[in-house]
Amino acid sequence: MGLWRRLGAHRLPAMFLTQRRTPPEYFDALDRPLNELQAAYRQLGRVNRCFKFSHPFVWVLPRWLGRERCRRLEFLDLGAGDGLLGRILGRWAHQRGWDWQFTNLDINPRALALNPNGRNVVGSVLALPFEEGCFDVVIASQMTHHLNTEVEVVQHFREAWRVTREAVLLSDVHRNAGLMGLVWLGTLLLGCSRPLRADALVSVQRAFRVAEWKSLAHQAGLADARVWLYAGTRLMLQARKPAPTLSR
Ligand SMILES: C[S@@+](CC[C@H](N)C(=O)[O-])C[C@H]1O[C@@H](n2cnc3c(N)ncnc32)[C@H](O)[C@@H]1O
């Protein structure tokens, strides 16, 4: 036991992030000053573009739903923040002659206010203020790790599934030491503020792994959800409802 501790081996689980930890994130408090939040979202946007956060969506959706189905889609973006993902995806679709419309949902009205021209709804992913099957596709990026407990994650998956008529596609950071190093370096080189850098590192500690999301998706009733690792850095969950059968 003494040698184990002296070698520092008791720290290995923390170093390799085998267990999820949930220290609070600075920008999760809803009363951060607007100018601070604005700067943080500008910097997060730079990090997101650099890490190509929209790529998993443009890679998966046409291959999964088919190009024809992608011509017109109505999305709900959960934890949309300043709505950058919707703006990027909307432009990308427009360049292909497709029409993708986004509703941005976030618990933080100040974050949504950074996107004054968006279709914004203040609300929690745990109790979505929408009827069943309101959207073609429900997406989320870097949101799920903000939830504190597994019970909340199951509820979030359940709610996403309830309000989609067709598909759910979620993306989040993956909990691994390699990504932790990459985020440390990336946020330093991109000149992010101290609190944003700290939040980015906490995000990786709060994140999940494939087996964990698979089990939670199963508990939420998304038995056929595919959970996979994208580029060694992102956790993806995709689930599709069966096409409605036409009654005679
Ligand atoms: C890291 S930001 C991600 C923003 C954007 N989706 C992206 O990929 O850059 C996480 C967002 O989730 C929001 N959020 C956290 N908990 C939430 C909840 N329970 N319901 C709705 N939004 C939540 C936060 O307010 C924040 O805007």
Supply 17's token pair.
Answer: 């992030």
Amino acid at 49: R
- Count the neighbouring beta carbons within 10 Å of the beta carbon of residue 103: 20
pTM of the model: 0.94
Burial of 191 (0-12, 13-18, 19+ CB in 10 A): exposed
From ligand 1's centre to the CA of 2, what distance in Å? 43
Q: In this predicted model, what pLDDT tens digit does every residue of 96-141 receive, in sequence order?
A: 999 999 999 999 999 999 998 999 999 999 999 999 999 999 999 9
Q: What is the rounded average pLDDT for all residues in the chain?
A: 94
Within 13 Å, how many C-alpha atoms sit on residue 78's CB side?
32
Q: Look at residue 116 in the predicted model and tell me its pLDDT.
A: 86
Q: Comparing C-alpha atoms, which of 175, 171, 165 is closest to residue 243?
A: 165
pLDDT in tens, the chain (248 residues): 576 666 555 555 567 899 999 999 999 999 999 999 999 999 999 999 999 999 999 999 999 999 999 999 999 999 999 999 999 999 999 999 999 999 999 999 999 999 989 999 999 999 999 999 999 999 999 999 999 999 999 999 999 999 999 999 999 999 999 999 999 999 999 999 999 999 999 999 999 999 999 999 999 999 899 999 999 999 999 999 998 766 55
- For 80-101, the pLDDT digits (tens) are 999 999 999 999 999 999 999 9
**Residue owning the nearest CA to atom 14 of ligand 1:** 79
Nearest CA to 222 out of 169, 164, 157 is that of 157
**Nearest-CA residue for atom 11 of ligand 1:** 79
In this prediction, residue 15 carries a pLDDT of: 72
Give distance in angstroms: CA of 199 to centre of ligand 1: 12
Q: Report the residue among 57, 84, 107, 159 best suited for mutation to probe ligand 1: largest number of ligand atoms under 8 A from its CB.
A: 107
Which domains does the chain carry? 34-240 (3.40.50.150)
- What spacing in Å lies between the alpha carbon of 155 and ligand 1's midpoint? 16
Secondary structure (DSSP) of the chain: -HHHHHTTGGGHHHHTT-S---PPPGGGSTTS-HHHHHHHHHHHHHHHHHTTTTHHHHHHHHHHH-TTGGGEEEEEEET-TT-HHHHHHHHHHHHTT-EEEEEEEES-HHHHTT-TTSEEEE-BTTB-SS-TT-EEEEEEES-GGG--SHHHHHHHHHHHHHHEEEEEEEEEEB--HHHHHHHHHHHHHTT--HHHHHHHHHHHHH-B-HHHHHHHHHHTT-TT-EEEEETTTEEEEEEEPPPPPPP-
Question: What is the CB < 6 Å shell around ligand 1?
Answer: 44, 48, 53, 79-81, 85, 106-108, 111, 124-126, 141-143, 146
